């Protein structure tokens, strides 16, 4: 039997974090959207500490999960938490000191010894380069072993939280002639000599979260900073498996980015319906199709689109927790939710007219914030390519 309801512990987590988002993030949403400052919003320091204290004791350890049967572990918890907090504000969620896109890379690739050694993280993820976007196999940043240290050289752009973070997970190649098999991840602490933040972007949306350009010039990090194994695969099968370990980061993070779109779209739908209710229009699901106005029909279609995207996100997260290959499902959830979030937010602006377009309400901000979720962590085009390869059984060289 299929049960599409969240278990009680995740429902409780969702309720707790919705309260956190409503009372902590939403009241300062407009303030930091307008400020677009580089420094960490002072309220987030206390809110981050409160979030850590309030949620960690209730979070069960994945090691304690059952060996057989259904598991709802860290991926599902993070998907639920991300949706709830992005209902409050997606930019502020990304700026929270306890959140970091690079944290997922550490969890996916690092050894247990490394995780223990590094402890608490607020790590950004540095993948994109001026000549390399969604095609991560074309990374030109290099890491060369020099004695007991790695020497990193290259340039990264569009690094979320790259200015405020404590660490940066840098994707670099050990040998550019070896292609994607030689790409590895390195944890580089902020302030390491040779690592320089050269620009902080001014953006359309998620303005509370900084987006930086980082240059690495002979940046030295210890040998132990490499996440996972330093070995470069030599056979074709081994190379595919090696890069698959790196790509596991995306399998973990794409459902979470999709969950950002779920939370933001829910916020837009809730606010639009509240505004319409004040004008005398309230959705009643007992009406027959021929009784619906054009406006009601639009809202029902948006609700259906949201629900289908949410189920894809939860499935991809559940598969990750249950050790099932979820690469295609992660891309499906990201493609569907990213597109849905942007469509829903823009339609809610249109439906609410002047109130949707003005800064008197947050709908116009939700619309601006929604676009980047459709783009980062892999565009629509790259997600569709991944899905097509999986469905057709083609490799990246066979289907480009």
Per-residue pLDDT of 177-186, as tens digits, reads 888 888 899 9
Distance CA 217, CA 106 (A): 23
What confidence tens digit (pLDDT) does each residue in 80-98 have? 999 999 999 999 999 998 8
Q: Are 221 and 175 in contact (CB under 8 A)?
A: no
pLDDT at 187 over 50: yes
CATH number of the domain at 8-114, please?
A: 1.10.540.10
Q: Are 314 and 72 in contact (CB under 8 A)?
A: no
What confidence tens digit (pLDDT) does each residue in 255-273 have? 999 999 999 999 999 999 9
Assigned token pair, 183: 């790409």
Distance CA 265, CA 369 (A): 10
∠ Cα 233 238 240 (to 5°): 105
What mean pLDDT value characterizes the chain?
Answer: 89
Percent of the chain residues topping a pLDDT of 90: 66
What confidence tens digit (pLDDT) does each residue in 201-239 have? 999 999 999 999 999 999 999 999 998 878 876 555 555
Distance CA 229, CA 233 (A): 10
Assigned token pair, 318: 């559940």
Instruction: Please name the residues in contact with 357: beta carbons below 8 A apart, sequence gap of 6 or more.
Output: 349, 363, 364
SS (H, E, C) the chain: CCCCCCCHHHHHHHHHHHHHHHHHHHHHHHHHHHHCCCCCCHHHHHHHHHHHHHHHHHCCCHHHCCCCCCCCCHHHHHHHHHHHHHHHCHHHHHHCCCCCHHHHHHHHHCCHHHHHHHCCCCEEEECCECCECCCHHHCCCEEEEECCEEEEEEEEEEEECCCCCCEEEEEEECCHHHHHHHEEEEEEECCCCCEEEEEECCCCCCCCCCEEEEEEEEEEEEHHHEECCCCCCCCHHHHHHHHHHHHHHHHHHHHHHHHHHHHHHHHHHHHHHHHHHHCCCCCCCCCCHHHCCHHHHHHHHHHHHHHHHHHHHHHHHHHHHCCCCCHHHHHHHHHHHHHHHHHHHHHHHHHHHHHHHCCCCCHHHHHHHHHHHHHCCCCHHHHHHHHHHHHHCCCCCCCC
Q: Are 220 and 151 in contact (CB under 8 A)?
A: yes
DSSP secondary structure of 314-358 = HHHHHHHHTT---HHHHHHHHHHHHHHHHHHHHHHHHHHHHHHHS
370: number of Cβ within 10 Å: 29
Which residues share a beta bridge with 169?
125, 187
What pLDDT is recorded for position 1?
53
What pLDDT is recorded for position 161?
94
Q: Output 178 or 174, whichever has higher pLDDT.
A: 174
Fold exhibited by the domain 237-392 = Butyryl-CoA Dehydrogenase, subunit A; domain 3 (1.20.140)
pLDDT at 77 over 90: yes
pLDDT at 61 over 70: no
Nearest CA to 271 out of 151, 355, 379, 186 is that of 355
pLDDT at 162 over 70: yes
Assigned token pair, 272: 């639009």
Assigned token pair, 152: 């990193």
Task: Enumerate the domain spans of the chain.
Answer: 8-114, 120-233, 237-392
What confidence tens digit (pLDDT) does each residue in 278-315 have? 988 888 888 888 888 999 999 999 999 999 999 999 99
- The whole-number average pLDDT for the span 131-147 is 87
Nearest CA to 125 out of 100, 95, 89 is that of 100
CATH architecture of the domain formed by 120-233:
Beta Barrel (2.40)
Percent of the chain residues topping a pLDDT of 70: 91
Q: Which of 58-62, 86-90, 225-229, 360-364 has the lowest mean pLDDT?
A: 58-62
Distance CA 172, CA 142 (A): 5
Q: Are 263 and 86 in contact (CB under 8 A)?
A: yes
Assigned token pair, 24: 């902590």
Instruction: Please name the residues in contact with 281: beta carbons below 8 A apart, sequence gap of 6 or more.
Output: 295, 296
377 catalytic per annotation? yes
Single out the catalytic residue among 83, 129, 361, 377. 377
């Amino acid at each position: 039997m299929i049960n599409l309801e969240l278990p009680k512990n995740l429902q409780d987590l969702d309720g707790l974090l919705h309260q956190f988002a409503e009372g902590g993030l939403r009241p300062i949403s407009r303030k930091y959207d307008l400020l677009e400052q580089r420094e960490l919003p002072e309220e987030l320091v206390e809110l981050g500490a409160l979030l850590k204290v309030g949620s960690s004791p209730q979070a069960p350890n994945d090691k304690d999960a059952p060996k057989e049967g259904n598991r709802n572990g860290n991926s599902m918890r993070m998907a639920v938490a991300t949706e709830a907090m992005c209902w409050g504000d997606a930019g502020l969620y990304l700026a929270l000191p306890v959140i970091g896109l690079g944290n997922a890379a550490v969890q996916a690739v690092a050894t247990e010894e490394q995780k223990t050694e590094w402890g608490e993280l607020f790590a950004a993820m540095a993948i994109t380069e001026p000549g390399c976007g969604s095609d991560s196999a074309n990374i030109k940043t290099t890491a060369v072993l020099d004695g007991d240290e790695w020497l990193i050289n290259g340039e990264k752009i569009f690094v979320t939280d790259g200015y405020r973070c404590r660490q940066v997970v840098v994707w670099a190649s050990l040998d550019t002639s070896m292609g994607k098999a030689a790409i590895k991840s390195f944890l580089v602490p902020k302030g390491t000599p040779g690592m320089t933040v050269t620009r902080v972007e001014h953006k359309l949306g998620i303005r509370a979260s900084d987006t930086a350009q980082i240059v690495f010039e002979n940046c030295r990090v210890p040998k132990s900073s490499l996440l996972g194994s330093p070995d470069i695969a030599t056979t074709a099968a081994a190379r595919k498996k090696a890069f698959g370990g790196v790509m596991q980061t995306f399998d973990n993070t794409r459902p979470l980015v999709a969950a950002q779109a779920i939370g933001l779209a829910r916020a837009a739908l809730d606010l639009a319906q509240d505004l319409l209710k004040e004008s005398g229009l309230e959705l009643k699901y007992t009406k027959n199709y021929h009784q619906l106005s054009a406006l009601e029909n639009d809202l029902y279609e948006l609700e259906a689109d949201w629900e289908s995207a949410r189920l894809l996100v939860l499935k991809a997260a559940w598969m990750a927790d249950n050790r099932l290959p979820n690469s295609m499902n992660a891309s499906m959830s990201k493609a569907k939710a990213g597109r849905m979030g942007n469509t829903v937010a823009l339609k809610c602006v249109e439906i609410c007219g002047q109130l949707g377009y003005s800064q008197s309400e947050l709908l116009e901000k939700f619309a601006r914030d929604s676009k980047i979720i459709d783009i980062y962590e892999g565009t629509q085009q790259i997600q569709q390519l991944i899905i097509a390869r999986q469905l057709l059984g083609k490799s990246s060289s066979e289907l480009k």
